[in-house]
Amino acid sequence: MSWTRICKTADVAPNSVKKIWIAGGIPVLVVNYGSGFRVVPPVCPHMEEPLEESGIVASCVLTCTKHLWAWNLMTLEKQGETEKPLKCYEVKEENGELMAFVDGELLYDFDKDDDMDDDAFFKS
Amino acid sequence: MPARNHAQWTAKPPLANDEWIDSRIYSDQEIFEQENERIFKKVWVPVCHESELSKPYDFRTMSIANEPIIVCRGPDNQVRAFLNVCPHRGMLIERRPSGSFLEGQPSGNPKRITCMFHAWQFDMKGNCVYVAREKEGYQDRLCKEEVGLRRLRCEVKFGGFVWVTLDDNPAVSLEDWAGKAFTCLQKSLDAEPLEVFHYHKAIINTNYKLWHDTNSEFYHDFMHYHNRVTGFNDAYFARKNEAFEHGHVVVGTFEVNYQNYEGFESRAALSFPHLPPNQWYMIDMFPGYNFNLRGSALRCDIVTPLGPDKVMIEFRGLGLKRDTPEERQTRINHHNSIWGPFGRNLHEDLIGVAGQGTTMRPGTESRRILHGRQENQTIHDENGMRHYYDEWGRWMNIMPNNPDQTWSERSTASAAVAAAE
């Protein structure tokens, strides 16, 4: 639980994303939306798509091109059909370094926990 | 014995009615289709081994009675089976024989089973998790919760084999159906994880039951010339075919004397756990599965009937998962020298059933196939086959020696022998 160095702010060009492994073996996605940065989990909360491949940044919006879930990066408002919020690590810039406050890896809950007893499943 | 004219050739043989078969059950299209309905859609089928889906998101596809099946391992390590059919328009969802869903595909999402046709997606539990343009197309009339995959009963059991049945309410549990026949091998197969090291398949123009027959009697040692002239001893021939309920047969153990097998070495050092050195057990399971543990290597044959005169046989060889590379190579050598495609038995067995398949092609006249050998239930006896066809007749409601008649318990050969005395 601490402020963790992520990368130099110059490492990620405006309107682009970059996947980075930080201390503790945690993968994050750095998003530069021109007027600021977001550090988020590297997968789309919809279908676990790898955002370093499917994510594009334009007009301050991060869009996963697989199924068009999207978030305003300034306000974090969901856009269009998007159903889940984007999880974010708190960030700050210090002397050209991008820092994030990391208290364990942020994860999305993908698998529905609906396992039924097999026998009951087949008899219902 | 003089040659016979047509009437003599087609006459009923002078044997009890469980000691011969009418070859129509090996060649008739209608009987084949009934077998799929009455047997293969009802029984438990060992579709593969869990080591073939060793990591989460690994999958394999196969079919049972023409129904496409997919088996996959979930992130919770549980192996599940589903019909490999999209609930949308009936597309075959996964086309590869095996692979992993972990990574995305051009038309497939990571960790999802994706139908390439319209991008509907399912998770490893068969839940539908994505319907493309769901709201636009179905408004509130249909939602993804209503279009999951069809899940099938699936158990990992008896040495890690993956057993599936198309019947949601099978007449007996897998344990009750197969447990007693597996007792002889259970300790050896369940002591520690096994791993498939050999896979090949053969598609043979013959009926699947003829292949099972070959696995059920050792009288055909006369075909295995090299086996016959080296290595056999009295204990070999003294083994018995022991019948178990549900049509299964177990061939008891004996100690193989590899010293006499030209070019072969003892299997003692690598024998499976709890198996006495160089021993050999074999289980023939109704309706067409064979588990054969010969000291250091386990062989498993699984039949998939493709037609009355066509069968796919999948052959697997297994060792212990913890094998060192050297141990594994030795097991592979042991396996292949007997059972590999160029081993000393398998191609000869395939010549046998292919020859039978040739003479019993659809359209040939029905023939009388004799199952009447009586040798005190030792391995040259055909009691194992008689036991199998009793079970087949019950499931099919057909008399194996007269397919026009419905099943009635057959007069047994031992009764016939008693009557003759």
Give the number of other Cβ atoms within 10 Å of residue A26's Cβ.
Answer: 17
> A19-28, A80-89, B48-57, B222-231: which has the minimum mean pLDDT?
B222-231
What residues of A are in contact with residue B78 (Cβ under 8 Å)?
Answer: 115
CB B149 within 8 A of CB B87: yes
Write the pLDDT tens digit of every residue in B139-160. 999 999 999 999 999 999 999 9
Chain B contact set for A122 (CB, 8 A): 151, 153, 168-169
Inform me whether the pLDDT recorded for B257 exceeds 90.
no
Provide long-range contacts, Cβ within 8 A and 24+ apart, for A58-64.
A58/A15, A60/A33, A60/A34, A60/A35, A62/A17, A62/A31, A62/A33, A62/A38, A62/A86
Is A14:A23 a contact under the CB 8 Å cutoff? no
Chain A residues within 8 A of B125 when measuring between CB atoms: 111-112, 114-115
> What is the distance in angstroms between the Cα of A48 and the nearest Cα belonging to chain B?
7
| Spatial contact of B82 and B69, defined as CB atoms under 8 Å apart | yes
Name B262's Cβ contacts closer than 8 Å, sequence gap at least 6. B226, B230
Least confident segment among A14-18, B169-173, B411-415: B411-415
Contact B151 A81 (CB under 8 A): no
Chain A: nearest CA to B137, how far in angstroms? 14
Phi-psi map region of B303: left, alpha, beta (phi>0 left; psi -120 to 50 alpha): beta
What value does the CA radius of gyration of chain A take, rounded to a whole number of Å?
Answer: 17
- B234 contacts B246 by C-beta, under 8 angstroms: no
Beta bridge partner(s), residue B153:
B165
- Contact assessment for residue A8 and residue A99, using Cβ atoms and an 8 Å cutoff: no
Residue limits of CATH 2.102.10.10 in chain B:
45-155
For residue A112, give the nearest of B121, B127, B153 by CB distance: B127
Residues of chain A with Cβ-Cβ distance to B120 below 8 Å are: none
Considering only CB atoms, B123 lies closest to which of A49, A81, A111, namely A111
pLDDT tens digits, B27-37: 999 999 999 99
Residues from chain B contacting residue A67 (CB–CB below 8 Å): 130
Alpha-carbon distance A55 to A62, whole Å? 6
- Give the distance from residue B125's alpha carbon to the nearest chain A alpha carbon, in angstroms: 8
Chain B: residue nearest A117 by CA?
B153
Q: What pLDDT is recorded for position B325?
A: 97
Catalogue the E-assigned strands of B227-324.
Answer: 241-244, 248-251, 280-285, 289-294, 297-307, 310-320
Is the pLDDT at B415 greater than 50? The verdict is no
**Chain A hits for B135, Cβ within 8 Å:** 81
| Confidence at residue A117, expressed as pLDDT on a 0 to 100 scale | 66
Contact B125 A67 (CB under 8 A): no
pLDDT bracket for residue B418 (50, 70, 90) = very low
Higher pLDDT, B390 or B416: B390
- Tracing tokens 């070019």 back to the chain, one arrives at B263
- Structure confidence at residue B258 (pLDDT): 66
Quick one: pLDDT at residue B338? 85
Q: Which of B291, B314, B205 is nearest to B244 (CA)?
A: B291
Predicted local distance difference test score (pLDDT) of residue A51: 95
| Residue percentage of chain B with pLDDT more than 70 | 94
Are B129 and A111 an interchain contact pair (Cβ–Cβ within 8 Å)? Answer: no
Contact A50 B110 (CB under 8 A): yes
| Contact assignment for A114 to B127 by CB distance below 8 Å | yes
Homologous superfamily of B45-155: Rieske [2Fe-2S] iron-sulphur domain (2.102.10.10)
Other CB atoms within 10 Å distance of the CB of residue A92? 11
Helix (H, G, I), strand (E, B) or coil at B414: helix
Look at residue B259 and tell me whether its pLDDT is greater than 70. Answer: no
Q: Residues of A near B (CB-CB distance < 8 A)? A: 47-50, 66-67, 81, 110-112, 114-115, 118, 121-123
Question: Quick one: average pLDDT of B308-328?
Answer: 97
**pLDDT score at B421:** 42
- Report the residue from A66, A111, A122 with minimal CB separation from B153: A122
Q: Which helix (H) or strand (E) holds B326?
A: helix B325-339
Report pLDDT digits (tens) over A56-110: 999 999 999 988 999 999 999 999 989 999 999 999 999 999 999 999 999 998 7
pLDDT at B420: 44
Contact A47 B169 (CB under 8 A): no
* pLDDT of residue B278 exceeding 70: yes
The mean of the pLDDT values for chain A is 91
What value does the mean pLDDT of chain B take?
91
Phi first, then psi: give them for residue B362, nearest 5 degrees. Answer: -55, 135
- Residue B109: list chain A partners with CB under 8 A: 47-49, 66
Q: What is the structure's pLDDT at B232? A: 66
pLDDT surpasses 80 at A116: no
- Domain range for A6 is 2-123
> Does the pLDDT at position B417 exceed 50?
no
With CB atoms and an 8 Å threshold, state whether A112 touches B169. no
Per-residue pLDDT, averaged over B364-393, amounts to 94
Tell me how many domains chain A contains: 1
Long-range contacts of residues B343-347, Cβ cutoff 8 Å, at least 24 apart = B344/B224, B344/B226, B344/B227, B345/B224, B345/B227, B346/B315
pLDDT per residue as tens digits for the range B45-87: 999 999 999 999 999 999 999 999 999 999 989 999 999 999 9
Q: Which amino acid is at A59?
A: S
Whole-angstrom distance, CA of residue B190 vs CA of residue B192: 5
The pLDDT value given to residue B301? 95
Residue A78, Cα to own-chain centre: how many angstroms? Answer: 13
- Sheet strand arrangement including A61-64: A55-58, A61-64, A70-72, A78-79
Least confident of B255-259, B302-306, B337-341, B379-383: B255-259
Among the partner-chain residues B121, B125, B168, the one whose CB lies closest to the CB of A115 is B125
pLDDT for B267: 75
Query: Does residue B332 surpass a pLDDT of 80?
Result: yes
Select from A6, A64, A68 the least CA-distant residue to A37.
Answer: A6
DSSP symbol at B146? G
Is B129's CB within 8 Å of A49's CB? no
pLDDT on residue B260: 64
- Domain spanning B183-415: CATH 3.40.50.970: no
Q: What is the pLDDT of residue B223?
A: 84
How far, CA to CA in Å, does B195 sit from each of B17, B177, B277, B320, B328? 43, 24, 20, 6, 10
pLDDT digits (tens, 9 = 90+) for B80-92: 999 999 999 999 9
Task: Please report where in the chains the tokens 């077998």 appear, as a residue.
Answer: B35
What average pLDDT score do residues B311-327 get?
A: 97
End-to-end CA distance of chain B: 25
Interface test with chain A among B125, B149, B163, B175, by most A beta carbons within 10 Å: B125
Q: Closest approach of chain A CAs to the CA of B110, in angstroms?
A: 7
* Dihedral sign, Cα of residue A90, residue A92, residue A96, residue A99: negative
Q: Give the pLDDT band of residue B419 (cuts 50, 70, 90).
A: very low
Is residue B290 within 8 Å of B182, Cβ to Cβ?
no
Residue of chain A nearest B121, judged by CA positions? A47
CATH of the domain at A30: 2.102.10.10
Largest interatomic CA distance in chain B: 82
- pLDDT of B121 > 90? The answer is yes
Q: Which residues on B lie below 8 Å from A49 (Cβ)?
A: 104, 109-110
Find the CB nearest A111 among B75, B121, B130: B75
Is B102 strand, coil or helix? coil
Q: Which of A49, A112, A118 has its CB closest to that of B109?
A: A49
| Partners of B285 in beta bridges | B289
Residues in chain B closer than 8 A to A66 (CB atoms): 109
